[in-house]
Structure 1
Amino acid sequence: MSRRGTAEEKTAKSDPIYRNRLVNMLVNRILKHGKKSLAYQIIYRALKKIQQKTETNPYACFHI
């Protein structure tokens, strides 16, 4: 039996632009060799292209 206490479950932080945990979780999944800034660039470019093509809120398309 372990003498240590149980670890608290951490919640994911939100991303700087959309203020959403889901976007940040996606960024963490596509991380390239620990370069989070590159992962953010990839996601934000993709969301920008979605906005240009559909002319709607890209987060709404992403969340579905």
Structure 2
Amino acid sequence: MSCSGTIEKITSKSEPIFRSRLVNMVVNCIIKDGKKTLAYQIIYRAVKNIQQKTETNTLLVLRQAIHRVTPNIGVKI
């Protein structure tokens, strides 16, 4: 017998301070030894330094930095 209910799509949770999925994805990439709080501290410290050095939106700067380091061409192996 098949399920008659609908399946809800699971969405990733946004992080608590900036409410940005981008920050959450970066944190998940830099997790060290499974310590997510340490990864959040690293990101928040970096964002604080960006905010002190530039007067622009920190999430915009983070988004631009990630866009610049991603490859333009997809590579298939």
TM-score, normalised via structure 1 length: 0.80
Query: What letter corresponds to residue 53 of structure 2 in structure 1?
Result: K
Q: Aligned partners of 1:54 and 1:26: how far apart in 2?
A: 21
Q: Aligned partners of 1:17 and 1:32: how far apart in 2?
A: 20
2:25 alignment partner, SS class: helix
Percent identity, aligned pairs only? 65
Q: Which has the larger radius of gyration?
A: 2
Aligned residues: 58
Question: Structure 1: 5+ residue runs without aligned partners?
Answer: 1-7
Q: Which has the higher contact order (CA 8 A, sep 6+)?
A: 1
* Aligned alpha-carbon RMSD (Å): 1.6
Residue 26 of structure 1 corresponds to which residue in structure 2?
A: 26
Answering whether residue 56 of structure 2 is matched by residue 53 of structure 1, we say no
Residue 40 of structure 1 corresponds to which residue in structure 2?
A: 40
